[in-house]
Each structure stands twice: as structure tokens, then as C-alpha cells.
Amino acid sequence: MRLRLSVTDRAIDLPPPYTLVPLREAGDAFAHACAIAGDHGAGTLVWVRRYDLVEFAVILEPEEPLAEARRALYAGSNALADALIARAPPECTVTFDWPDAIRIDGALVGGSRLGWPDEVRENEIPPWLVFSGMIRALVMRAGEPGARPFNGALEEVGFEAIDAGEIIEGFARHLMHGFHEWSEAGFAPVAKHWLDRLPRKSDQRFRLADNGDLLLFRAVDLQPVERRSLRKALVTPSWLDPATGAPWL
């Protein structure tokens, strides 16, 4: 595995309308973006200069009420997955755990987060949202091979010449495309793109509700047998170890 230290040797090349805010290695992209979101415009992208994590957050300005705008999590997750698969080894698979985790060939490598102002009600348009992504690029102390088959890093699933900057650049472009598709064709294509990466049993069907909740159907049932709340699920990121502030290992 070769690692390009883009975190130190070059700036990220972002297309308009993005504005880059770099942080030192000890920074927290999600927390910083939420803290400055009220004073910075849409497209502000916070990047933590680390070589072991791909960590970033982008400020968004939605036009829908919070209950609907929260679906931006899916558009952002699609963009991050597309950026990863573009640089992945052949035959590599990227899948999601609902609602926020990302796996590569079955190994948890990171995930997404979404933040918004606490005081905004579900039927109000929030002044900002923050979408954040974090992917583990390498493991500093890997331990015994095979000891954690369901948690890993990009280097462990075959990525070579890992460049955090290139992954974030790819994410930024895919996100622009996703939001353009959303505005032109509605949310359905975004939902399909995300659901195509959600593993399921042969007798299961999934759909995303207008507020982003996951609806589970079985066989040919016309009514869902289960509804999972996106708002409640986003309170605690499923992929994030609170003790380390990084993806679970």
C-alpha cells in the first residue's frame, strides 16, 4: 500500500462553489462546520489534514423543511460511496448499513453524519445543514490479521496510493451531481441509488419515505411491516466510536 500524503503536500482542488477550510490534524470537521455554519455560506468544506482518516464536512443551505431536507444524508452518502468506488480495486463492493455506515467488501470503514440547528422544528426550513464524512484510510496498530473481519480501513481492503484529497475532490463533484439530479428529477433517483447499496434478504423490499424514514416491506405486501425513523437514528452515529472519535475497530 502506498500512501500519498496529500494532507501535507498540496491543497484540495475543489470546483466552484466550494470554499475550503483546512484544519490541523487534531480538528473535528463535523463540530467545526456546525460551529461556523451560521456565518459561512453553502459549499464551505471543512477538511481535517490527517493521513489515517479521510475526514471532512460541508455546509448546505436547504430549501425544504427540516423533515424533508434531512434526506440530504442519502445524497451525501451516495457521493462519498461513488468517490470511494472510483478509486477502489476491481470487483470491490461498497454497501451501506442504514442509515449512516459505509462498508467495503463487508468491512466497516466509516460513515456519514448530518447536523442542523437544535431550535429548528420539523416543518421549518433550517438555515443550514452540515453533512460530514469520515473514512478510515489506514490502521496505525493493525494487530493480528483476521482479528476484526467486520471493521477495517481502505489499505486493508486493497486500496493503493490512498489520497484523502482526491477522495474528497471526488465527493465534492459527485455531491453537485446528486443535488442537480434531485432538483431536476426529484428525490426518487437519489433514493434508488442509495437503496441499491443496501443489502437485503430475498423477500425484503425497502423504500425511503418523504421524511427519509426507511420503510421495510416483505414479499408483495403493499403496506410496510416496519418503519425506521431517520431523525432518531441520526442522534447517535452507528459507525462512530465515541471513545476515539473515529470509526469502530
Beta strands in 85-234, from DSSP E residues, in sequence order: 94-97, 101-104, 107-115, 129-136, 204-208, 214-218, 226-228
What per-residue confidence (pLDDT) applies to 25? 87
pLDDT at 53 over 70: yes
Cβ 92 vs Cβ 81: under 8 Å: no
**Alpha helical stretches, state H, 186-216:** 188-195
Helix (H, G, I), strand (E, B) or coil at 73: helix
Least confident of 93-107, 116-130, 145-159: 145-159
Residue 141 in this model has a pLDDT that exceeds 70: no
- The DSSP code sequence of 128-162 is -EEEEEEEE---SS--STTS-TTB--GGGGT--SB
6 pLDDT above the threshold of 50: no
3-state helix, strand, coil in the chain (%, to 5): 25, 25, 45
- The residue with cell 471526488 is 170
Would you state the pLDDT for residue 148?
67
pLDDT at 144: 55
Under DSSP, is residue 108 helix (H, G, I), strand (E, B) or coil?
strand
Higher per-residue pLDDT: 145 or 217: 217
Output the pLDDT for position 206. 96
pLDDT tens digits, one per residue of 208-248:
999 999 999 998 888 899 999 999 999 999 999 999 999 99
How many CB atoms sit inside 10 A of residue 214's CB? 19
Contact 115, 129 (CB under 8 A): yes
Question: What is d(CA 227, CA 241) in angstroms, rounded to the nearest whole number?
Answer: 26
Rounded to two decimals, what is the model's pTM? 0.93
Give CA–CA dist 187/70, Å, rounded. 12
* List of residues 6+ apart from 187 with CB closer than 8 A: 71, 208
Q: Quote the mean pLDDT of the chain.
A: 92
pLDDT of residue 10: 58
